[in-house]
Amino acid sequence: MLRLFWKNKRPTVLLYLILIILLFVLRDDYQPFLLFIRKFFFIILVCGIIAFLLIRTFRKTASTGKRIGILVILLAVFGLIYYTGWQLKLYDYMKTYNVFLHLNKVEVSELPLTQNERIQPLRNIYSMANESVGETMDVSLPHLV
C-alpha cells in the first residue's frame, strides 16, 4: 500500500502541496482550537485519563447497579472539576500563583515616588489589552507591581 502510494510521485507531491497551502490559508480557523488545547492541556489530560479508566471499569462490570454507580461517579468527578475549575476560578488562581512563584522578587528599600500616573482599574487594563491583540491571541492577567 505504501509502496503504491510513493510510486505515484505526481499525485503525492500535489496532495502534499495542497495540504501545505491549506494549512497556511486555514490557520485562522484551527489556531483558536490549538490555543484552547494548549491552555487547558492538563485538565484535558486528567479528564481523559479519568474517563478512560471509569469507562473501562464500566464495560467490565456485569451488574446494573455497579454500572449506574460508575456513571454517577463519572458525572460527579466531571461536575467537581467544572465547579472547582471554572465556577470557583481555581484554575485561574493556580495559573496566577504559578506566575507569582516564578517572579524575580526584590525587596525595595523605599517606595518609588509617582507624580501624575493615573491608576487604572483591572478590567480597564484587561479590556485595553484585548483590544490591542489579535483575535487568535489570549490575554492573561497583568503582572501588577
77 Cβ contact partners less than 8 Å away, ≥ 6 residues apart: 50, 54
135 Cβ contact partners less than 8 Å away, ≥ 6 residues apart: 28, 32
Of the candidates 33, 32, 35, 43, the residue with the CA atom closest to the CA atom of residue 95: 43
Could you give phi then psi for residue 119, rounded to 5 degrees? -85, 125
- Alpha-carbon span 54 to 63, nearest angstrom: 15
Kindly calculate the radius of gyration of the chain based on its CA atoms and give it in whole angstroms.
Answer: 25
Angle between helices 9-25 and 27-39 (to 10 degrees): 70
pTM of the model: 0.60
Q: What percent of the chain has pLDDT over 90?
A: 45
The domain segmentation of the chain, as residue ranges, is 62-104
How high is the pLDDT of residue 75?
96
Question: Per-residue pLDDT tens for 34-45?
Answer: 999 998 899 999
Torsion of CA 102, 90, 143, 31, to 10 degrees: 90
- Residue predicted with more confidence, 24 or 124: 24
Q: Which amino acid, one-letter code, is at 4?
A: L
Question: Per-residue pLDDT tens for 48-95?
Answer: 999 999 999 999 999 999 999 999 999 999 999 999 988 998 888 988
